[in-house]
Chains A and B, each alone.
Chain A
């Protein structure tokens, strides 16, 4: 149980294009999902909190017009990196909160490696 998938696992795109990453909770419903970014040998940096049916909450310094988040259902959240540039190259990881668990554990997806040329 508590499986989260991400698609794609790896994407290479040209500068200026947009990239969409999907995050799905496969065996539980997630009213809240989270999007993280991780640089090499560093810990996870929270970018935004995605709430089903409402607007995402972005962390300070994260451009909401660049990183578009949509949480259309209880099992799916998407992150779109718009007009990607080389500095957006990173490892993006989503997590989903299982609201039926007492302490709201978060379960993470396998991550998406984005490379912008």
Chain B
């Protein structure tokens, strides 16, 4: 069974304090791994797609990396506006209709 586990569940940082969020996954074969950001009361916002081990993607203060077992979302010098829940999802090979498997998310709070 496909599984996605995110850690930590919650993370509090001071502004400027860099850190990483983890997404561990178990799938029979990976077609793609996706990172989303979700603000309270809103739908998830697409951030990155990763599909092969060793791949990296960057956007402003965020960098996503991928290995064969996990993905990291690195946040460099975060600002309070980076506070949100970050969701990781995988699309296994052979998935009909692009059904995603989501992790439970990491709730990030960045204090000024």
Contact = CB atoms under 8 A, between A and B. Distances in A.
A103 B49 contact: yes
Interface in B22-49: 31-32, 34, 36, 41-46, 49
Given A93-B43, A111-B43, A113-B41, A104 B98 contact: yes
Contacts of B49: 103, 105
Interface string B92-112: 000001111011110000000
Nearest to B36: A108
Give the dominant DSSP class at B's interface: mixed
A110 interface: yes
B42 A110 contact: yes
Interface in B41-62: 41-46, 49, 51
Interface residues of A, number: 26
A44 interface: yes
Contacts of B98: 32, 97, 104, 106
Contact of A49 (B31, B91, B97): B97
A109 B104 contact: no
A43 B43 contact: no
B97 A108 contact: no
Given A32-B97, A49-B99, A108-B36, A103 B42 contact: no
Interface of A: 2, 4, 6, 32, 34, 42-44, 46, 49, 51, 57, 91, 93, 95, 97, 103-111, 113
